[in-house]
Structure 1
């Protein structure tokens, strides 16, 4: 027969174990209730980005069983630094930055928009001629200089032998959307923007006309921090790839022109490779990552 002392000790140990297990479960439940920080690159204002992506955010939150907290940053540079600093758990980011971060091992790339991303030269009333003489002396709006569209456009301007502020007036704006606005209100002669942003403005400004202004590249990519549980990253990827099958997805892709999410390929990595050395040089000493 077990002594009263041993029985008390066993009950005391069982209570401690119960408290420990309960504590672990409580911590896990608290972690699962924490919002996942979802970043979107600043190609439109924060308000427009949130409105545009609400259906996507709601669908992902349901699929992941976690609330999502959206945020962005005022510039592409600030956004890249926030990605490096671990300030987001999930993010939609420029393709060159996405491939660079994945190559570092910090992020896992889950999907990209199917439509290709291209720089367009946009004019009012008539399609502009993408030639040096047609652009000389003009005022041209360009969004954040660190966007992939701006990088592609600058390559085209270099090829045409056009130097900003010497051959034409470069008007830098906060985003592609802002460039479209200053063109529509007559503040500039032309704007260089992403093809999908141009498509989002066409219904409001049908007189705007556009021509290609450089090579097309892979579109924006969705990624998850590798510090997240693998099961959560798997659910995130599955929700993205099936999003076009939902009612919210059909509305989202009709509004944005992105078509759907598709897997990222080795060819995407190869296309972005020429852009990576510049990122290495610029962010040679990134902040320590939160793990």
Structure 2
């Protein structure tokens, strides 16, 4: 059988998990699954947009821009019963802010303007609260959730919206963060980023991969892989599950046209 190539558009901390996951699928299904090396974000986006890979780990909102791919499975975070995640509004522990509205005019840092959890969700929430575009002050573009955390930690920013699964992973490796940062409030929950497959893959192959992912937690090796990444299992999912993100994005549109422009990071 031919090799099936995958690429990740998600947090770098999950790269090892995806590598091991695809190796496990290769062993289970008898086909070579391969994760492409990490690439600069614009290059990875172009690869998926051009459907040059067979599968992608990608945000549910970005998926709407990649019609060549379809979601087949989504991970369930440990301690939860559904395949959902949240945006954590993270501030320094000594911050005087007690609610979202207290952060007006602060130094906000975003991982990327295409990110749902780190950018769009914040603007959609502000739109629902009826806040003015000036609320966000002059935003800064960090390049990743982990970089955003470090920016708040260093005092270069006052607040960031962080994918809660990334934040939990960071706490597992850097428990000292609890002494310096705190979660002001969560936003969500939202449908979690899925495993997606190229739509033109044979339906039987898509179903086989979906079934293998859904069965992963029933195997000792699979359970260990999932737990190390902060997940309990994969569940089947469909395109319908991600449609609510479009409504959130529509609410955020008003911010995109009037809010201050992000400063581009050096890596782009």
> 1:256 offset after TM fit, Å?
3.0
| Aligned twin of 2:32 | 67
Normalised TM-score (structure 1): 0.70
Aligned 8 A contact 1:138 1:168 in 2? yes
Q: Secondary structure at the match of 1:152?
A: helix
CA spacing shift, 1:116–1:229, aligned 2, 3 Å: same
User: Which of these residues, 124, 127, 135, is aligned with residue 155 of structure 1?
Assistant: 124
| Aligned twin of 2:178 | 206
The number of residue pairs the alignment matches comes to: 237
> 1:194 offset after TM fit, Å?
0.6
Structure ID, larger Rg: 1
- 5 Å-filtered alignment, 1:144-223, equals 144-149=112-117, 150-158=119-127, 159=129, 161-163=131-133, 168-203=137-172, 204=174, 205-207=177-179, 208-223=181-196
Q: Secondary structure at the match of 1:49?
A: helix
> 1:38 offset after TM fit, Å?
0.7
| Aligned twin of 1:255 | 228
Q: Deviations over 1:136-173 (max 9, x none)?
A: 34222211111111211121234352536x75232211
1:111 aligns with 2:80: no
> Where is the strand percentage greater, Structure 1 or Structure 2?
2
Partner Cα distance (2:242, 2:217) in 1:
24
Partner Cα distance (2:228, 2:152) in 1:
21
| Structure 2 unpaired stretches of 5+ | 77-82, 252-268
Aligned 8 A contact 1:35 1:66 in 2? yes
Q: Deviations over 1:21-42 (max 9, x none)?
A: xxxxxxxxxxx2x431111113
Normalised TM-score (structure 2): 0.76
1:272 aligns with 2:251: no
Partner Cα distance (2:108, 2:249) in 1:
27
> 1:126 offset after TM fit, Å?
5.2
- Give RMSD over aligned pairs: 2.8
CA spacing shift, 1:94–1:58, aligned 2, 3 Å: same
> 1:269 offset after TM fit, Å?
4.2
CA spacing shift, 1:267–1:89, aligned 2, 3 Å: closer
Partner Cα distance (2:17, 2:200) in 1:
28
Q: Secondary structure at the match of 1:216?
A: strand
CA spacing shift, 1:141–1:255, aligned 2, 3 Å: farther
Q: Deviations over 1:33-61 (max 9, x none)?
A: x43111111323xxx43223232121112
